[in-house]
Amino acid sequence: MANVEAVKAVLSQQNIELPSWAFGNSGTRFKVFRQPGVPRDPFEKIDDAAQVHAYTGAAPSVALHIPWDKVDDYSMLVNHAKERGVRLGTINANVFQDDDFRLGSVTNPDPAVRAKALAHLIECVDVMDETGSRDLKLWFSDGTNYPGQDNIRARQDRLAEALQAVYERLGDDQRLILEYKLFEPSFYTMDVPDWGTSFAHCLQLGPKALVCVDTGHHAPGTNIEFIVAFLIRAGRLGAFDFNSRFYADDDLMVGAADPFQLYRILYEVADGASLIDRDIAFMLDQCHNIEPKIPGQIRSVMNVQEASAKVLLVDHDALAAAQAAGDVLGANAVLMDAYNTDVRPLLAELRIDRGLDPDPMAAYAGSGYAEKIAADRVGGQQAGWGA
């Protein structure tokens, strides 16, 4: 069994990036439920994200979504984040909400629409220059609903052309992270439907192009940990979007639907890379449509911490010996022993060591912050989207 102090040393360096949009109003295609105290601008989103980091000690960066988080002066936002004890992270592009993108963005058959989409992607790199962000994460809703609607190969050519233009605009220390999604909003073809498509485009682009694994963007029964292991071996795992799904892209709190799957995924990361590998962006991507925003993010961070702690307790010597001996059940038992360990006392001890409350959820609930923002944030337009 691993040394507990060594486990704590790794966990104390773990960084889990928060999505700014998770603090706004969100929902399903049928309803967006408004909540009191929801941020009205990116500065208030940063304030709320800082609360998650203050109580977990593991969420020091915040991903932005452009244009949802567009501001006149990004240096002010950078300084605001620094004052709150966090920093700005990944920049996420948005080429899915405009009416012009009904038939696609960078793969649209209309050259004018493609040009508009590409201009936005380049604008996002400009934002990266101002915020000091390393990663540009791209997700495309592009696809088709019916056979014959458009030329599938031609759409791949258009996609490759746009990605190449963005790649060439990147600075020396910037990266392109390409996400994928099996289906929705397009139901016949998605132009980037799976990790293989993303991987192929990244290989063609070059070493600064990497794959983002969104844990909710797969067909039922997909072995996500195999994908993770493969991409690590190829040096192309750039980021995670952590969430949970019961049926499709449910965007629930990570670990809520299948905590054992989260454990298996993180085991492959720890085995092939590191849980604190700065070349892998460990980010949450969730839609808190009925649960309160800040506690939802705190719980998700805690779920990642718990799964990580269990992974770090795996007895690698015993596992290697069982694998070498062909001891199928013995090898499986090593992984299960670590998974079945109650790591909550270890994490509580770690938090106390770092000057934090051992129970982040209770500490936040007792802080009065939720009541304060509900009283203060009256008037103005709440962040979020309509349905």
* Better-scored residue on pLDDT, 287 or 282: 282
Average pLDDT over residues 42-70: 98
* 163-168 contacts at long range (C-beta below 8 A, 24 or more positions apart): 163/106, 163/138, 163/201, 163/205, 163/209, 164/205, 165/118, 165/121, 165/122, 166/118, 166/121, 166/122, 166/125, 166/136, 166/138, 167/205, 167/206, 167/208, 167/209
**Which runs of E-coded beta strand occur in the chain?**
18-19, 61-65, 87-92, 135-138, 143-144, 175-178, 189-190, 209-214, 237-242, 281-284
Token readout for 28 is 């399903």
Predicted pLDDT of residue 318: 98
Average pLDDT over residues 187-211: 98
Average pLDDT over residues 304-323: 98
Tell me the per-residue pLDDT of 100-131, one tens digit each, with 9 for 90 and over.
Answer: 999 999 999 999 999 999 999 999 999 999 99
Predicted pLDDT of residue 253: 96
Give the amino acid at 152. Answer: I
Looking at the predicted structure, is the pLDDT value of residue 204 above 70?
A: yes
Predicted pLDDT of residue 240: 98
Contact (CB, 8 A) for 207 and 177: no
Predicted pLDDT of residue 1: 56
CA angle in degrees (0–180, nearest 5) for 218-203-116: 75
Looking at the predicted structure, is the pLDDT value of residue 285 above 90?
A: yes
Give the amino acid at 124. Answer: C
pLDDT class of 387 with cuts at 50, 70, 90: very low
Token readout for 186 is 């397009």
Tell me the per-residue pLDDT of 163-179, one tens digit each, with 9 for 90 and over.
Answer: 999 999 999 999 999 99
Predicted pLDDT of residue 384: 86
* Better-scored residue on pLDDT, 41 or 29: 41
Tell me the per-residue pLDDT of 239-260, one tens digit each, with 9 for 90 and over.
Answer: 999 999 999 888 999 999 999 9
Predicted pLDDT of residue 103: 98
Orientation angle between helical segments 111-131 and 152-169, nearest 10 degrees: 30
Looking at the predicted structure, is the pLDDT value of residue 33 above 90?
A: no
Domains of the chain (ranges; CATH) run: 4-376 (3.20.20.150)
Q: In what order do the strands lie in the sheet with 87-92?
A: 18-19, 61-65, 87-92, 135-138, 175-178, 209-214, 237-242, 281-284
Neighbours of 53 (CB within 10 A): 23
Tell me the per-residue pLDDT of 208-225, one tens digit each, with 9 for 90 and over.
Answer: 999 999 999 999 999 999
Average pLDDT value for the chain = 96
Tell me the per-residue pLDDT of 320-374, one tens digit each, with 9 for 90 and over.
Answer: 999 999 999 999 999 999 999 999 999 999 999 999 999 999 999 999 999 999 9
Tell me the per-residue pLDDT of 144-167, one tens digit each, with 9 for 90 and over.
Answer: 999 999 999 999 999 999 999 999
Looking at the predicted structure, is the pLDDT value of residue 2 above 80?
A: no
Q: What residues have CB less than 8 Å from 127, skipping those under 6 apart? A: 64, 66, 70, 74, 91, 133
How many angstroms from the chain centroid is the CA of residue 225? Answer: 16
Q: What residues have CB less than 8 Å from 126, skipping those under 6 apart? A: none
Cα distance between residue 176 and residue 159, in whole Å: 14
Q: What is the DSSP string of 306-338?
A: HHHHHHHT--HHHHHHHHHTT-HHHHHHHHHHH
Looking at the predicted structure, is the pLDDT value of residue 79 above 50?
A: yes
Give the amino acid at 271. Answer: D
Say what percent of the chain tops pLDDT 90. Answer: 93
> Minimum mean pLDDT among 20-34, 70-84, 291-305, 327-341: which range?
20-34
Predicted pLDDT of residue 368: 98
